Amino acid sequence: MASCRRMLLKVIILGNSGYVNRKFSNQYKATIGADFLTKEVQYEDRLFTLQIWDTAGQERFQSLGVAFYRGADCCVLVYDVNVMKSFDNLNNWREEFLIQASPSDPENFPFVVLGNKVDVDGGNSRVVSEKKVKAWCASKGNIPYFETSAKEGFNVDAAFECITKNALKNEPEEEM
């Protein structure tokens, strides 16, 4: 069913982010609530509209909760390759998402993992190895993994193409 509804994909970004801002800044700016943006992606000759919810922010500015997780087609988990804690948090993010969004088939819900800020200090301050994160991704049902730099725009398009592909795999939830 090539309905227009399937051209619209809802993506949730969790973790150490900064993807949706067109201009990336390393500077800290808080997000109030979730940031909402749309992004158009060309995939297999069709134009898809990604409806992106980005949650980078402090908990004290998330007073209304995470009802926006519901109905997501793909969840993107982002960590900073230079901060071990952000990698350690991936598991929490994933579990928290599955609980809150309660997708119909949590086992096969599409995730994508992004390792961000690979460009910082020429990669010298990196603390999470690619091998380590890939092992984690494999253990969670072969989650696709990308290394990116939002600042330089490195690999971001490829990542979003993969996000689109994976989101499409998610069967639409018919709640009626």
Partner 1 sequence: MIADGVEDEEKWLAAGIAGLQQNAFYMHRALDSNNLRDALKYSAQMLSELRTSRLSPHKYYELYMRAFDELRKLEMFFKEETRRGCSIVDLYELVQHAGNILPRLYLLCTVGSVYIKSKEAPAKDVLKDLVEMCRGIQHPVRGLFLRSYLAQVSRDKLPDIGSEYEGDADTVVDAVEFVLQNFTEMNKLCYSACQSFILLADPELRLAVGLSGLQGPAREKEKREKERSELRDLVGKNLHVLSQIEGIDLDMHKETVLPRVLEQVVNCKDEIAQYYLMDCIIQVFPDEYHLQTLDVLLGAFPQLQPTVDIKTVLSRLMERLSNYAASSADVLPEFLQVEAFSKLNNAIGKVIEAQPDMPILGVITLYSSLLTFTLHVHPDRLDYADQVLVSYCLKLYNAYSHKGACVKKLSGKEKLEDKKATKQIVALLSAPLDKYNDIVTALKLSNYPRVMEYLDSETNKVMATVIIQSIMKNKTRISTADRVEALFELIKGLIKDLDDAFHDEVDEDDFKEEQNSVARLIQLLHSDDPEEMFKIICTVRKHILGGGPKRLPFTVPPLVFSSLKLVRQLQGQEENPFGEEESTTPKKIFQVLNQTVETLSNIPAPELALQLFLQCAEAANDCDLEPVAYEFFTQAYILYEEEISDSRAQVTAIHLIIGTLQRMHVFGVENRDTLTHKATGYSAKLLKKPDQCRAVYACSHLFWVDDQDNIKDGERVLLCLKRALRIANAAQQMSNAARGSAGSVTLFVEILNKYLYFFEKGNPQITVAAIQSLIELITTEMHSDSSTPDPAADAFFASTLRYMEFQKQKGGAIGEKYEPIKV
Tell me which stretch binds partner 1 (CB under 8 A): 15-23, 103-111, 113-121, 159-167: 15-23
10 Å CB burial of residue 18 (0-12, 13-18, 19+) is: buried
To partner 1, the closest distance from the beta carbon of 82 in angstroms equals: 14
Quick check: 67 binds partner 1 (CB under 8 A)? yes
Give phi and psi for 168, each to the nearest 5.
-65, -30
Quick check: 121 binds partner 1 (CB under 8 A)? no
How far is 127 from 84, CA to CA, in rounded Å? 6
Closer CB to partner 1, 20 or 143, in the complex: 20
7 secondary structure, DSSP code = G
Quick check: 120 binds partner 1 (CB under 8 A)? no
Closer CB to partner 1, 73 or 147, in the complex: 73
Antiparallel, parallel or unpaired: β 35-43 and 46-54: antiparallel
How far is 46 from 62, CA to CA, in rounded Å? 35
To partner 1, the closest distance from the beta carbon of 45 in angstroms equals: 17
Closer CB to partner 1, 31 or 144, in the complex: 31
Instruction: Please name every residue paired with 50 in a beta bridge, in sequence order, or none if there are none.
Output: 9, 39
Interface residues with partner 1 (CB under 8 A) are 1, 3-5, 7-8, 10, 21-23, 25, 27-33, 35-38, 49, 51, 58, 61-65, 67-68, 70-71, 175-176
